[in-house]
């Protein structure tokens, strides 16, 4: 099936009351991406010709999050069938002219669905089924709808749990809600769906029985239960995160990274790792992180929006913020924070340092306690440090300022003006000394303490 033969309807109108949140359920994050964003990514891997996200009234924040994809509003919110019908006008006459076109129905709160599974559903559609339903076998079927399959393996009906007989409830194959339906059949089937059921809603699942009654072929495709995990509560969100992270950790190791304590490493949806990367325990990757071959991330580091070059060493206890770029062989040590700064090849920032809005040249050495004073209360300013420069410990570089190539800054300096290449700059108070004064001071203080004790 080509993308021109495929349209996607993604249902995201649910309020998610069990989340106990002011934010729509589908905008909660999993691995740094919204739930609806995960579902959209799986759908768009198939290159559909059309994609419509169904939202509820007033869900402008969801519409903004899924833009530029089109949206349709489900006004009544009377079940999944009603939700799909809300997208009819937005899709126009898609697929009306032939049987090859398919409309795929997905859910914005099912973030773990995989494009490979959706491709298997589309293959079943192309093999002749007018309706394909994605099923799964959970450990606890509880109140899921059941898929009724005949002896030949054809899908005959979907029965909601509340409407099922005891025999039907004993069936282990359950309905995920995900469907692939012939575009030429979907709207006619939905127009015949009624609401005569325990909840008084229009069930999308009822089209299976109607299609079978019309002599149309229906099929079921199975997926692992974890893949169709729906998120309806904070506990569900945590469970989905755990499943996603476990899979990503396995993938990282399969692709050549060493994770010394996999369970304590947290990835984002777009984390990129090279070969022979080593990641120690308790490392967190936020969105936008790329780690090149041979780099090492030591324990208790937090990275977000960062590019780490080959052979770079980071941490332990380092924080790399958005805009940080560490070039080949550079080093960032313990309790160092880097933000919107470039660290040149071989440069070292080993201890207790803040580099913000800065460029550090190749092989430069930044001493412990150095800070770039990049914010004046209104605007950010940059610090430029040349290649091979040496910045002594406990130095404050007040931006905007430039330290030339090979320059040396004396420890404890506050630098407010540019320093030329190969110069030595020292900017600190003159040291004074009074010999014997410490002994005199101690004796005076002991007497004061003794007098206060007698009072």
d(CA 289, CA 267): 9
DSSP codes of every residue in 220-260: EEE--GGGG----SHHHHHHHHHHHHHHHHHHHHHTT-EES
Q: 316 and 301 in contact (C-beta within 8 Å)?
A: yes
Cα gap 353→334, rounded to integer Å: 9
pLDDT above 70: percentage of residues in the chain: 99
pLDDT at residue number 2: 60
| Residue 443 predicted with pLDDT over 70 | yes
* Right CATH for 257-425 from 2.160.10.10, 3.40.50.150, 3.50.50.60, 3.40.718.10: 2.160.10.10
Digit-coded pLDDT (tens) for 85-144 = 999 999 988 876 678 899 999 999 999 999 999 999 999 999 999 999 999 999 998 889
Q: Which of 28, 269, 351, 381 is catalytic?
A: 351
Coil, strand or helix at 216? coil
pLDDT in tens, 232-260: 999 999 999 999 999 999 999 999 999 99
Over residues 53-65, mean pLDDT: 96
Extended strands (E) in 160-217: 174-182
Give Cβ neighbours of residue 205 (< 8 Å, ≥ 6 apart): 80, 133, 145, 158, 160, 175, 177
User: How many Cβ atoms are within 10 Å of 346's Cβ, its own excluded?
Assistant: 19
**pLDDT tens readout for residues 109-126:** 999 999 999 999 999 999
Query: Is 351 labeled as catalytic in the residue annotation?
Result: yes
Q: Dihedrals φ, ψ of 63, to 5°? A: -60, -40
- CA–CA separation, 228 vs 177, rounded Å? 9
Q: How far, in Å, are 16, 346, 359, 389 from residue 350 at the CA level?
A: 47, 12, 16, 15
Q: Where are the domains of the chain?
A: 3-228, 257-425
- Interatomic CA distance for residues 41 and 51, integer angstroms: 11
Give the fold, CATH level 3, of 3-228.
Answer: Spore Coat Polysaccharide Biosynthesis Protein SpsA; Chain A (3.90.550)
């Amino acid at each position: 099936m080509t993308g021109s033969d495929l349209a996607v309807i993604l249902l995201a109108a649910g309020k998610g009351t069990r989340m106990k949140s002011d934010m729509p359920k589908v905008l909660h994050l999993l691995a740094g991406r919204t739930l609806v964003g995960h579902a959209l990514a799986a759908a768009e891997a198939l290159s559909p010709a059309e994609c419509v996200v169904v939202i509820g009234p007033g869900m402008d924040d969801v519409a903004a999050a899924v833009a530029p994809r089109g949206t349709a509003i489900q006004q009544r919110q009377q079940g999944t069938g009603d939700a799909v019908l809300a997208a009819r006008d937005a899709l126009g006459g898609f697929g009306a002219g032939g049987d090859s076109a398919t409309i795929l129905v997905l859910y914005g709160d099912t973030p773990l669905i995989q494009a490979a599974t959706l491709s298997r559903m589309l293959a079943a559609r192309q093999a002749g089924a007018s309706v394909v339903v994605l099923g799964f076998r959970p450990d606890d079927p509880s109140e899921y709808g059941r898929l009724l399959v005949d002896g030949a393996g054809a899908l005959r009906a979907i029965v909601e749990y509340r409407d099922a007989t005891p025999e039907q409830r004993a069936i282990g194959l359950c309905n995920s809600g995900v469907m692939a339906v012939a575009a030429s059949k979907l709207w006619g089937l939905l127009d015949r769906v009624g609401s005569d059921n325990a909840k008084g809603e229009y069930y999308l699942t009822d089209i299976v029985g109607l299609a079978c009654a019309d002599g149309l072929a229906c099929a079921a495709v199975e997926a692992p239960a974890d893949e169709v995990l729906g998120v309806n509560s904070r506990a569900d969100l945590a469970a989905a995160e755990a499943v996603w992270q476990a899979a990503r950790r396995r993938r990282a190791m399969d692709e050549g990274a060493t994770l010394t304590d996999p369970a304590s490493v947290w990835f984002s949806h777009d984390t990129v790792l090279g070969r022979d990367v080593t990641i120690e325990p308790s490392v967190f990757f936020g969105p936008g992180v790329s780690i090149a071959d041979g780099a090492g991330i030591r324990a208790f580091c937090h990275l977000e929006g960062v590019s780490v070059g080959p052979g770079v060493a980071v941490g332990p206890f380092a924080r790399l913020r958005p805009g940080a770029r560490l070039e080949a062989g550079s080093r960032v040590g313990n309790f160092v924070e880097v933000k919107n700064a470039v660290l040149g090849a071989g440069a070292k920032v080993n201890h207790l340092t803040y580099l913000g809005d800065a460029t550090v040249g190749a092989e430069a050495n930044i001493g412990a306690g150095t800070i770039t004073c990049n914010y004046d209360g209104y605007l950010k300013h940059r610090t430029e440090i040349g290649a091979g420069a040496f910045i002594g410990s406990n130095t404050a570089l007040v931006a905007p300022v430039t330290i030339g190539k090979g320059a040396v800054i004396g420890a404890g300096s506050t630098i407010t003006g540019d320093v030329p290449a190969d110069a030595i700059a020292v900017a600190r108070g003159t040291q004074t000394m009074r010999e014997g004064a410490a002994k005199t001071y101690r004796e005076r203080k002991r007497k004061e303490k003794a007098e206060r004790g007698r009072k």
